[in-house]
A = this chain, B = another copy of it.
Amino acid sequence: MFRELMTYDNAKKLLFATLDPQPLGSEKIPLLKAYNRILSEDIITKLDIPPFNRSTVDGYAVKADDTYESEENKPTTLKIIGTISVGKCPKIQIRKNNTVETVTGAPIPEGANAVVMVENTQKQENNLLIYRAVTPDENVMKKGTDLKKGDTVLMSGQLLGAPEIGVLAAIGVNYVNVLKIPVVSVFSTGAEITEPGKSLAPGKIYDINAYSLSTAVKESGGKPIFMGVIPDNEVALKNALKQALFTSDIIITSGGVSVGPRDYTPKIVDSLGKPGVIISGIAVKPGKPTTIAFIGNKPVFSLPGHPTSALLIFYLFVRPVIQYLSGNKVISEKIVKANLAVRLFSAKGRKTFVTVKLSRDKNQKILATPIQTGASGAITTLSKADGFIEIPANQQFIDSNEQVTVTLLKNKKV
């Protein structure tokens, strides 16, 4: 089972083929908390919008018939019998040659069927001079013209942004059923790893991956459970994994996947349930020792300890899974085209990913410059990389000045 490298494409196919497409179900939450969530129900309006005939202007509600002879220099005169305001049901009834003063948004009173704009009238005590005729329904928004009771307003699967939340409020909805967000447990392993903020004993280094990866989970729309550093023994690791399987939908570990004597993460993961490890090693550079397992329907990603490799493999394999389980069909890929600054060679037989920094050359073209990688530079690579490019496994090199597609790891104005 171990150390048989799978191609990048096959690994991705197998991962998604094994994934349960909808394991998470939905939950009912207040509308005000529904930003960026995905509807899990069709929303049907239970009322007409608007719920009553509404004036769309400030002016006077009339029977349109009474205004037909109005002209600029020969106004019609109607009797003003009252005033209507917004938010109240008018008790008043309009009869022939009567009118009431009204405002935008107020209900049209019984007997009236149009509104004359205030600009086209002149008030003389209790009389109104009308200088322009109106037709029936003019300046009236009739009940149900925007939405009719029973109309489907939004469909299941809709991502909720500001406009959608406004629309839901409009029809009186204040709670909605949305897809649950995948909960992702994240921890680091390794005897040398220490929590930031604690003092550093000789031979130790600070944890990076539990921090960068749980942030990347957030950025991808998941809900991270930060478990920090798990003590370096098989019992502690097994217990941490069991706890994570209980509390979360996805698990990410980092470190402990190489071939050293303490690299027992994949073995322990595999012992926890079926189908166990399905991918053990991927023909990519960096990130070759990546192991992917499923315990029941929960994916467990065991990423390499090197921070840049771990984050890169996260973007390539974990992020799409989080977005897929979220039901999020709108994946906004942050990519940019650039010219490669130097010739770049691929790792023989492996799909190669190279972290790059973006800048502008003297002609204002965007330039992608590879970051010095290799053994050193674990931290500086991470802090300097704007994104990464890929070289296919069957391609020897990309030439200097060739156009490449850079997938961004951060927001940056180039």
Residues of chain A whose beta carbon lies under 8 Å from any beta carbon of chain B = 31-32, 35-36, 47, 49-52, 56, 58, 85-90, 103-107, 139, 141, 145-147, 153-154, 159, 161-175, 190-193, 195-198, 200-216, 218-219, 226, 232, 258-262, 305, 307, 311, 329-330, 332, 375-380, 382-383, 385, 409-413
Contacts and interface: CB of A to CB of B under 8 A. Distances in A.
A89 B192 CA distance: 10
Contacts of A35: 215, 218-219
Nearest to A34: B215
Given A139-B375, A171-B379, 20 more contacts: A35-B218, A47-B200, A56-B375, A86-B192, A86-B262, A87-B204, A146-B376, A147-B380, A161-B409, A162-B215, A162-B410, A163-B385, A163-B409, A164-B410, A167-B382, A169-B196, A170-B206, A170-B208, A170-B379, A174-B197
Contact of A163 (B141, B164, B205, B382): B382
- Please provide the 6 A-B residue pairs with the shortest distance between their CB atoms, ordered closest to farther: A166-B212, A174-B197, A87-B191, A87-B192, A89-B202, A169-B211
Looking at A165, A198, A412, which has the most chain B CB atoms within 10 Å of its CB?
A165
A147 B259 CA distance: 28
A211 B31 contact: yes
A44 to B, nearest CB: 13
A2 B166 CA distance: 29
28 contacts: A31-B211, A35-B219, A49-B205, A51-B205, A58-B258, A58-B259, A87-B204, A88-B203, A89-B203, A103-B261, A105-B192, A146-B378, A147-B380, A161-B219, A163-B212, A163-B409, A164-B410, A165-B212, A166-B209, A166-B379, A167-B382, A168-B196, A168-B211, A169-B211, A170-B196, A171-B206, A330-B411, A332-B411
Given A87-B191, A170-B307, A215 B58 contact: no
A51 B47 CA distance: 67
Nearest to A195: B174
Contacts of A147: 379-380
Contacts of A191: 85-88
Nearest to A101: B261
Nearest to A138: B375
A190 B379 contact: no
A413 B328 CA distance: 11
Contacts of A197: 172-175
